[in-house]
């Protein structure tokens, strides 16, 4: 065993982290020959005593798994300690929405967390750190963290649309009656919110355009798209809690994609900092089709076209992200 990877997870006593952490520690993501040091952040005891206590319990459970790949667990309520030397930072810690809330209701509530964590990451993380923002509203939280942590190059930041991507794949596979792996080339454009556009027009099923396999365009536009957009809310309504293991799974899939080249001809979805691609203003954190080189670098797939329906959905999600950006403008240093 020669490699050691340091992984920070914030909100580490929360429900997403509860399934994220054992899978990170187990070797599933970084392989059997890499030791993992988990650097776990929670809110200070002075603010909410139960959080650090809960985290200590989680750390005890991790110890009790005796994973051969888990080298060390650091439990802290200090950002600088949590982000010290980290190669990956999974920013999960933030209040989730409850029944009756929209994700944008969380904007001001969670924004300051990401302002502080962006600066701490820039000060403390390893060169080459890869950051994934999961805490909602994740695109704009990522924007805040990036703008406050600008010493970290922009291609090292991302926000999670992989759960949406997996949802979009699963729903097409179910409708077409095929295995999940036979659905490819799905894109989640824009925001991780109910304006996202799960693009079925460029998707493929068994290598054929999805629209040739599922010919019911009305279903695609009026059932499939809203189902993907509102899936988070539907789960909250059923469970009384927001999605947890599927969210953790999306985050792990995102990190695995960074480590492995994307199969030829396919792509996946991630929200990354725009350089103006597809007419999105530079600097916005926008969900795109991306490919990975397997070395931690995602590149945006160029040249996809959208039809009139797709373009209207794209414009709606772009508009929402611009509004979110405007709402947090005071937290965005230039």
Closest residue by Cα to residue 205 from 176, 228, 165: 176
Strands 3-10 and 298-300: unpaired
3-state helix, strand, coil in the chain (%, to 5): 45, 20, 35
Residue 41 as a binder of ligand NAD (CB under 6 A): the answer is yes
Q: Is the distance from CB of 80 to CB of 149 less than 8 angstroms?
A: no
Instruction: Say whether 153 sits in a helix, a strand or coil.
Output: coil
Residue 242 as a binder of ligand LMR (CB under 6 A): the answer is yes
Stretch of 24-32, 123-131, 217-225, 227-235 contacting ligand LMR, by CB under 6 A: 227-235
Q: How far is the C-alpha of 206 from the C-alpha of 213, rounded, in Å?
A: 9
192 among known catalytic residues: yes
What x/- string results for residues 49 through 68 when contact with ligand LMR is judged by CB under 6 A? Answer: --------------------
In the complex, minimum distance from the CB of residue 22 to ligand NAD, in angstroms, rounded to a whole number: 14
Residue placing its CB nearer to ligand LMR in the complex, 103 or 147 = 103
Stretch of 67-75, 87-95, 123-131, 311-319 contacting ligand NAD, by CB under 6 A: 87-95
Interface residue with ligand LMR, options 10, 117, 136, 184 (CB under 6 A):
136
Report the partner that residue 104 touches, choosing among ligand NAD, ligand LMR, none (CB closer than 5 to 8 A by kind): none
Among positions 51-80, residues that touch ligand NAD (CB under 6 A) are 51
Among positions 176-205, residues that touch ligand NAD (CB under 6 A) are 192
Q: Is the distance from CB of 52 to CB of 76 less than 8 angstroms?
A: no
Report the partner that residue 149 touches, choosing among ligand LMR, ligand NAD, none (CB closer than 5 to 8 A by kind): none
C-alpha to C-alpha distances, 132 to 54, 154, 265, 299, nearest whole angstrom: 23, 12, 25, 15
For the chain, counts of helices (H) and of strands (E): 12, 14
Sheet with 34-41: strands ordered across: 70-76, 34-41, 3-10, 88-91, 130-133, 157-159, 268-273, 285-292, 298-300
List the catalytic residue out of 103, 124, 192, 254.
192
Q: Is the distance from CB of 102 to CB of 263 less than 8 angstroms?
A: no
For ligand NAD, the binding residues (CB under 6 A) are: 10-11, 13-17, 41-43, 51, 92-94, 96-97, 113, 134-136, 138, 160, 163, 192, 242-244, 247, 250
For ligand LMR, the binding residues (CB under 6 A) are: 96-97, 103, 136, 163, 232-233, 235, 242-243, 247
């Amino acid at each position: 065993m020669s490699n050691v990877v340091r992984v920070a997870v914030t909100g580490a006593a929360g429900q997403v982290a509860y399934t994220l952490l054992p899978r990170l520690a187990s070797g599933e993501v970084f392989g059997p020959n890499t030791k993992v040091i988990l650097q776990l952040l929670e809110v200070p005891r002075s603010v909410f005593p139960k959080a650090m206590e809960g985290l200590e319990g989680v750390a005890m459970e991790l110890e009790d798994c005796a994973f051969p790949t888990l080298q060390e667990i650091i439990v802290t309520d200090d950002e600088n300690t949590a982000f010290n030397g980290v190669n990956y930072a999974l920013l999960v810690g933030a209040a989730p929405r409850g029944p009756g809330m929209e994700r944008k209701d969380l904007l001001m509530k969670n924004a300051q967390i990401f302002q502080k964590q962006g600066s701490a990451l820039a000060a403390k993380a390893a060169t080459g750190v890869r950051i994934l923002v999961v805490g909602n509203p994740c695109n704009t939280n990522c924007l805040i963290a990036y703008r406050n942590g600008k010493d970290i190059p922009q291609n090292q930041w991302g926000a999670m649309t992989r759960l949406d991507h997996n949802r979009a794949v699963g729903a097409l596979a179910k409708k077409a009656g095929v295995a999940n792996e036979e659905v490819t080339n799905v894109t989640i454009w824009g925001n991780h919110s109910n304006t996202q556009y799960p693009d079925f027009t460029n998707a493929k099923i068994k290598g054929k355009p999805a629209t040739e396999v599922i010919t019911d365009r009305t279903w695609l536009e009026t059932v499939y798209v809203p189902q993907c957009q509102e899936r988070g809310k539907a789960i909250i309504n059923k469970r009384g809690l927001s999605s947890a293991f599927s969210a953790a799974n999306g985050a792990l899939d995102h990190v695995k994609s960074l480590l492995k080249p994307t199969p030829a001809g396919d792509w996946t979805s991630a929200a990354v900092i725009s350089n103006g691609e597809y007419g999105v203003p530079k600097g916005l954190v926008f969900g795109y089709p991306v490919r990975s080189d397997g070395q931690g670098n995602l590149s945006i797939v160029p040249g996809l076209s959208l039809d009139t329906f797709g373009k209207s959905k794209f414009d709606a999600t772009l508009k929402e992200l611009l509004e979110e950006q405007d709402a947090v403008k005071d937290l965005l240093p230039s």
